[in-house]
Amino acid sequence: MGLDNSAKRDFKIVGTRVGRPDGIDKVTGKATYGADISAPGMLFGRILRSPHAHARIVSIDTSEAEKAEGVKAVVTGADLAMPEDEYFADVSVNCLARDKALYDGHAVAAVAATSKAAAKAAIRLIRVEYEVLPHVTDVDEAMKPDAPIVQEGRALENVPAGMSQNVTSHFEFGHGDLDAGFAKADKIVERSFKTAATHQGYIEPQACLATLGGDGRGEVWCCTQGQYMVRTKCAHVLGIEASQLKVTSSEIGGGFGGKTSTFIEPVALALSRKSGKPVKIVMTRDEVLRATGPTISTSMDVKIGMTNDGRITAGKAVLRYQGGAYPNGTVEFGAQAAFAAYDLDAVQTLGWNVMTNRPKEIPYRAPGAPTAIYAVESVVDELCQELSLDPLDVRLMNAARKGTLSAYGPTFNEIGLVATLEAAKDHPHYKAPLGENQGRGLSCGFWFNFGGNTCVSLNLNDDGTVGVVEGNPDIGGSRASISMMAAEELGVPYDKVRTVIADTSALGFNDITDGSRVTFAVGLATIEAARAAIKEMCRRAAKIWDVDEDAVRWEDGAVVPAGPNAGKHDPMTLAEIAAVAGSTGGPIAGHHEVNADGAGVSFGVHLVDTEVDPETGYTKILRYTVFQDAGKAVHPDYVEGQMQGGAVQGIGWALNEEYIYGEDGRLQNPGFLDYRVPVASDLPNIETVILEIPNPGHPYGVRGVGETPIVPPLAAISNAVSRAAGVRMAELPMSPPRLLKAMQG
């Protein structure tokens, strides 16, 4: 059944605001997250971490720790396998270091003991002899030819000779004649930008409970964005087979990309294998900030030319992203996304990935895009200001639309950027007056959206209810959205459907919950699974009526005769067919397995008013409005929630959040007191406007919505602050001291 010719646009359930199936558990404290379960005879694991940014590990003496009261096992890197595949080898070495500690917080050994206190005491008895090496944490410093080398021999072939070995890969996108484009410009602005690394800041630290026997059979319970990913990585790092490891995802207390990798599960499994007992590891906040996924930090140059009436003639961006102590590819996303909002004749983006002595970068909501688009949208705003042009009119004049050859290659299909910009222009916010020390900023945002590997099983129960089994942890209400789409397609009430998330043994492989893929891809697979079940229900009804299969059809949740030749029969509902399934051929189910394509890109526009305090450099967010194309908002509350939550994370990135490293290469602010995420009193209401430009790649027109909202805030706020403060800002975060210094010239 082709999707394009079965597009559905009239909905009964999709688009309503139903309650969530996990609601009661989550408001009563019953929901079980990573740290909330225990096992009989369980031990507590604790990890020893490097205090040095870069050091050779000369020796590790665990003998005293092994003898300590209550200690049942001690492991080091030698207890994990060293996979031949470089990607999995990096996972292994990041879980427990081998010859070198690569950053402050790098795990070097772990213990399992009968109590938390015993485990904590025991790691202090492990003697590690370090030979401290020179370190580098800044991206520009790390690119210099004489910089300390984080890891040798990791650069790809496309990195030119003579660069530091810390530069591991290079990307280039674009089209057209840049020189000719800049020659046509009346005004050219070229600026350099820097952005600090931030953390996803999920409130639930990583936690797991693991058991593994000497026969290679084991189980893991953990908070993760992908139980299959955990299985794959653990199998490689422990040297066991995937079929023998069952991974169950707990309720997840936030992820935002930060729980798309594994840090503690392989360690807990190794401790369990050695001790013969289940082992629970719960990270502290300090460990989360020092050793799990911060974002890239960046250094960027952007040059854009514009005519006096606002047409962009050429754009060039050079992006330098450091991604911590291992190679990563995030700059590729940044280089692709930088100019995605524009229809340009001449555009080029160059990206460099760089290693430093920092924790390995892990994706954070639209990884790579917010910083690149921040730099581009800042320069566009400066040009608008210099040329006295309306910044929304300039965006509209240059906006990408259907048929635009995007800066990163593909030609856009149906996209919602123009509609989003027009909605912003028509909104009262854009016309509201501003006071002294106040400024208004805006920015476009973009994310590709992912599809990916997805399996769904849909089972009809004999009481006429429906069970959906899917394999993606529910991070923002997706079980409700999936149930809604199943109910819509089957023509049954929402509360007749229950969606559960399978463990790795109960359903085929699913990619992680990332890239704004779940409502799109799992939704698509659910609709297809429902259609398979409908086809089977039609077959069963035809059998009961003793007519051909093509003499019946599905209509409003029931099988009906397709025409007069089928005879007169009352419609048979799903419940009636399911009740007699045993006598018509057995249980009825539908399933669908797909590597989903056609995710449909997502655009948004943010408008923000700020007020800066000239005496302190403090920035207050006065008003904030988010406009975004959702394709089709399956559950509008959750779409708004993504828009609001992403915007506020972006506000934190723009104004406060920052990884601060000392001269010694150690993280100086590994706690929520000094790594300051936005709190309720920092913020106004976040207004939302959902646009619905259907995605042709989904039967209901759905686009992912989760990533795009974190992209525009950085530039929108920087532009608002720059206009309010009368000085062009080019570094994030715009913390009060930094802004005060800029204002004082």
Q: Which residues make up the interface to other proteins (CB under 8 A)?
A: 17, 19-20, 22-24, 26-33, 35-36, 116-117, 200-205, 251-256, 282, 284-285, 475-477, 637-638, 640-641, 644-649, 671-673, 677-683, 685-686
Beta strands 245-249 and 218-222, pairing class: parallel
Tokens of 281: 């590891």
**Side-by-side strand order, sheet with 558-561:** 552-555, 558-561, 572-573
As measured in angstroms, the least distance from the Cβ of 511 to other proteins is 20
Cβ partners under 8 Å of residue 680, min gap 6: none
What gap in Å lies between CA 713 and CA 607, rounded to an integer? 8
Query: Of the two residues 193 and 364, which places its CB atom closer to other proteins in the complex?
Result: 364
In three-state secondary structure terms, 698 is coil
In the complex, minimum distance from the CB of residue 31 to other proteins, in angstroms, rounded to a whole number? 6
- Based on CB atoms, which residue is closest to other proteins, 266 or 713? 713
- Which is nearer to other proteins, 20 or 236 (by Cβ)? 20
Nearer to other proteins, 645 or 694 (CB): 645
In angstroms and rounded to an integer, the radius of gyration of the C-alpha atoms of the chain is: 27
Within 10 angstroms of residue 589's Cβ, the number of other Cβ atoms is 17
Around Cβ 16, how many Cβ atoms within 10 Å?
Answer: 14
Output the smallest distance, CB 104 to other proteins, in A: 19
**CB of residue 551 to other proteins, shortest distance in Å:** 45
Q: CB of 90: closest distance to other proteins in angstroms?
A: 27
Tell me whether residue 36 or residue 528 sits nearer to other proteins (CB atom): 36
HEC states along 59-70?
EEECHHHHHCCC
Nearest approach, Cβ of 198 to other proteins (angstroms)? 12
Nearer to other proteins, 206 or 457 (CB): 206
CB atoms within 10 A of CB 251: 19
Q: CB-wise, 202 or 700, nearer to other proteins? A: 202
For residue 253, what are the contacts with CB-CB under 8 A and spacing of at least 6?
Answer: 33, 34, 202, 203, 204, 223
Identify which of residues 178 and 196 has a Cβ nearer to other proteins in the complex: 196
> 161 or 680, CB closer to other proteins?
680
| Residue 188 beta carbon to other proteins: minimum distance, rounded to whole angstroms | 37
CB of 622 to other proteins, least distance (A): 13
We find the least distance from the C-beta atom of residue 187 to other proteins, in angstroms, to be: 36
Q: What are the backbone angles phi and psi of residue 626, rounded to the nearest 5°?
A: -110, 130
User: Cα dihedral angle (700, 706, 712, 718), rounded to 10 degrees?
Assistant: 160
| C-alpha neighbours within 13 Å on the C-beta side of residue 502 | 21
Please give the Cα distance from 569 to 541 (Å, whole number): 10
Determine the Cα–Cα distance for residues 646 and 45; give it in Å rounded to an integer: 34
